[in-house]
Amino acid sequence: DELVSEAREKGGSGMVSLALSRSTKDYINLDYVGKDQFLLQTDRLVKTGSFWQRLFQYPRIIHTANGDKAVKELLINYIERDRSEFEALYS
């Protein structure tokens, strides 16, 4: 709660970013973009679908979380779920 609130309060300059990682490859970045909005950016680690879907799948996940509740839910999902479940939720 405090981390998200502090990021929002100090994010007026647009220079606030939160990063969480489980390894050098498994990480997420949350950037404060204004008005209770955070932008999630991460590399896609789990490829799903057919061969052609996987071949042309965008290599990054970009998702906007609106409001403190959505940001907290996103962080909890990253911490508590495995990577494939997390990517399925936010892809």
Q: In this predicted model, what pLDDT tens digit does every residue of 25-51 receive, in sequence order?
A: 888 888 888 778 888 888 776 666 676
pLDDT at position 11 over 90: no
* CA–CA dist 67, 80 (Å, integer): 20
CB-count exposure of residue 64 (10 Å: 0-12, 13-18, 19+) = exposed
Predicted TM-score of the model (pTM): 0.73
Nearest 5°: the CA angle 40, 44, 84 is 95
**Range(s) of the domain holding residue 72:** 2-90
Q: In the predicted model, is pLDDT for residue 57 greater than 70?
A: no
Total number of domains constituting the chain: 1
> Would you place residue 77 in the very low, low, confident or very high pLDDT band (cuts 50, 70, 90)?
very high
Q: Kindly report which listed range (30-34, 53-57, 65-69) carries the lowest average pLDDT score.
A: 53-57
pLDDT at residue 65 in the model: 92
